[in-house]
Chains A and B, each alone.
Chain A
Amino acid sequence: MDAALLSRLQFALTAAFHYLYPPLSIGLGLCLVVMETMWLKTKNEHYRAMTRFWGKIFGLTFAIGVASGIVLEFEFGTNWERYSRYVGDVFGSALAAEGIFAFFLESGFLAIVLFGWRRVRPGTHWFATLMVCLGAHFSALWIIVANSWMQTPAGFHIVDGPNGPRAEITNFWAVVFNPSSLDRLSHTLVGAWSAGAFLLISVGAWYLLKKRDEAFAKSSIKVGLSVALAASLLSLYTGSRSAELVAEHQPTKLAAMEGHFDAHAPAAMYIFGWVDETAGKTHGLAIPGMLSWLVSGDTTTPIKGLDAFPKEDRPPANLTFQGYHLMISIGMALIAIAIVGMIGWSRGWLWNWRPFLWVLVVAVLLPQIANQIGWMTAEVGRQPWIVWGLMRTNEGLSTVVSAGSVLASLLLFTLVYLLLFFVFIYMLNHKIQHGPEDVHSEEYETFRKGFDAMMLNRKPQPKEGK
């Protein structure tokens, strides 16, 4: 294998592994804000215990997210040196802005969320939770800006510098608000909300099946289902917006997503299928003219197919097609699960219908799979470009890094990430088995008293008889 393929594999491995965690942080962050707001409003201890439990899970996902994320910050320089030199002027700014605006915010305030319960007032703690949630969202913002610029580059020109040509910023806001960044950001965020919400639902359903911590489990499911319903419906809307953008800016990606080969013909939309890339045909169940209708509102509008483009400009079609279609199927399933769950909640049978509770336990995997293959579609569909229309992936590689070195690092990362994944599952299981604090226990009473005592020390009581 050559350095190019190995470097691509390594980036795919490290990015995909890392992306198991940020969606959980973003989704759980939002849910934490909801829970803690409920606590401040109702003063019900139950919500505080919930915030404390899910805060710990957030802390775990964040720690593994940081550990695996540092790699990505450096990997452009290690494996994609020519890419870094060519686009650093534009692309680097977004990464730096993420560090300054998002990472510091999230990691700093997380210390208060996790360890500060007895050190700050409830209002301050709530504020810290809000900042952690915002930090997670800002992080996504800057990373999506950077990635969207690779999909639909804007706000730059090519300059012949002392070290050869490179891209330089002409308009910062055009880089930030490049044609696809807002729609892709919203689609990414709602996908992340689903990931967090379904974790709440899954753990809650599992407790119900084990007949333990039932009050906690029901509240977690209620918060989770509310967020999940909103997020899964929004995914459908933001997803269709993103697809329209692809149609407008990345015709080869669109053609690969739908397995559409004819250079100039109305395009169908497949429910499922198989793309035979050598024969240039797609087999499967399709709605004729549907893609044309989605793109233009008319089922007879011709859409440029893969045959309209030279072979070296086409992405791997079947992989893109399968990722895209599986993502849509899962998205639909998530909407269905959320709606059925909401009906069950309002009718009251949700808490006892064991088969459906098992579905909810397993459903935690669905948004994760959808997020992963959604990104696979976006990134594989962008091939052969590393920056759309500007630089090919193979042109971005490091000059001096040998295939042997990349193979060594790839093996090392595979090992370390297996370990990290094991650690994550082990710790997650440990925390779930241990469960939330029992608000009626003696231990919790000690915690609460210590907390109240601190508040009394800080805030002198008003004098009697006034």
Chain B
Amino acid sequence: MDLATIWYFLIGVLLAGYAILDGFDLGVGTLHLLHKGDTARRISLNSIGPVWDGNEVWLVTGGGALFAAFPEVYATVFSGFYLALILLLFALIFRAVAIEMRSKQPMPWWRSFWDWSFSLASMVAPLLFGVALGNMVMGIPLDSSHNYAGTFFSLLNPYALLMGVTTVALFAMHGAIYLLMKTEGAVHDEVRRWVKPAMLAFIVCYVALTFASVLFVPHIGEALRERPWLWVLALLSILTMADIPREISKKRDRRAFLASMGTIALMMALFAGGMFPYLVLSNPDVAQSLTTANAASSEKTLFIMLVIALIGMPMVLAYTISIYWIFRGKVKLSSTSY
């Protein structure tokens, strides 16, 4: 395997790490307004309190790694999706502010304003991630110097929007299951009632998306024919997905969350496996696509970066896991809470 291929999958790992981790806190935000009463909303906020900004670091690092390993992709995608990206940054900043501000004043209008901001921003971000992903799958028009030749509104096509809604539903389900682990009593019982509709919404979207992909995205079918091992991934992802309702009905919340994490990881693996070796597929002119061959940094840089990743990532994993371990258990409100 050459270094560019390794980095293709390492970037995938970073983005999957981001989707799994920030996915649940965005999901908690998506569901936030469903909580009735101030205490329930504070519990919802504090369930992600110590970890949400650490989760966002996966996005920052993913962006940095993309810049280092595939500068052509970094340059093409971010300048091409300019307004969409600015909107995403806007949502992420607004969300951070809302988390910090919400519980600092007791007035109901104050808290409800920040609750709405937090929740809307938590929905806009996954929607935009999904739209971006949908466009990457469909392919975007690139010119001969690899620059995006479409407009902001051509990004908002039905397929990409469907992918966006699917991502919102997926994260909502993921967040609901996370809340099951972190809450007790009345809030817990309330959340348990939401899990089923959230799962259902996700599955409906997922089935629709699968049909749309097979019907409208020809190269997905081709990839499946060329790489039979993708079928194994697809089967695994369906099994993992099916495991979620099973674990939920048996009230094994932690295992349900693991299954939900697995579902996201396998979906990302399917996406990466299906797209390889394309990083940005050019549609209609496939010849202009960015691939691992023409978009990567030099071998030397990729090697240096690999050494950095091999030293850094085990440390990152070690303390990410220890921090989740230290903050395990149900949320209790205290003087350091939001």
A169 with B101: in contact, given A66-B56, A115-B49, A120-B326 (CB under 8 Å)? Answer: no
Closest to B338 in A: A115
Number of residues from B at the complex interface, CB < 8 A: 66
> Complex Cα distance A409/B93, Å?
14
A77 contacts partner chain B, Cβ-Cβ < 8 Å: yes
Interchain CB contact (< 8 A) of B297 among A68, A89, A427: A89
Give residues 34-90 of B contacting A (CB, 8 Å): 49-51, 53-54, 56-57, 59-61, 63-69, 71-72, 74-80, 82-83, 85-86, 89-90
- A93 adjacent to chain B (CB < 8 Å): yes
Residues in B with CB closer than 8 Å to A103 are: 57, 60-61
Q: How far in angstroms is the closest Cβ of chain A from B3? A: 13
Q: Residue A400 contacts which of B79, B96, B298 (CB distance < 8 angstroms)?
A: B79
Closest chain-B Cβ to A305's Cβ sits at a distance in Å of 38
Most chain-B CB neighbours within 10 Å: which of A110, A111, A419, A430? A111
B29, chain A: closest CB distance, angstroms: 15
Say whether B32 faces chain A, with CB atoms less than 8 Å apart.
no
Most interface-central of A88, A89, A110 (chain B CB within 10 A) = A88
Selected contact of B300 from candidates A119, A170, A408, CB within 8 Å: A170
Let me know if B75 and A84 touch, CB within 8 A: yes
Tell me the interface secondary structure of chain A in the complex. Answer: helix
CA A97 to CA B145, docked complex, whole Å = 28
CB pair B82 A163 closer than 8 Å: no
A110 contacts across to B, CB distance below 8 A: 53-54
Nearest CB in chain B: distance from A425 CB, A:
12
Contact between B147 and A423, CB atoms less than 8 A apart: no
Contact B100 A115 (CB under 8 A): no
In the assembled complex, B186 has its CB within 8 A of some CB on chain A: no
A interface residue numbers (CB < 8 A to B): 60, 62-64, 66-71, 73-74, 76-79, 81-82, 84-85, 87-93, 95-101, 103-105, 107-112, 114-120, 159, 162-163, 166, 168-170, 172, 398-401, 405, 408-409, 412-413, 416, 419-420, 423, 426-427, 430, 443, 447
Pick the 6 closest A-B CB pairs, nearest first.
A88-B71, A77-B78, A99-B61, A92-B68, A100-B312, A92-B67
- A-B residue pairs in contact (CB < 8 Å), sample of 29: A73-B64, A74-B63, A74-B78, A77-B67, A77-B79, A78-B86, A81-B76, A81-B147, A89-B298, A92-B71, A93-B68, A95-B64, A96-B64, A96-B69, A97-B64, A100-B308, A101-B312, A104-B315, A108-B319, A110-B53, A111-B326, A115-B49, A116-B50, A163-B294, A168-B297, A398-B79, A400-B79, A409-B83, A430-B104
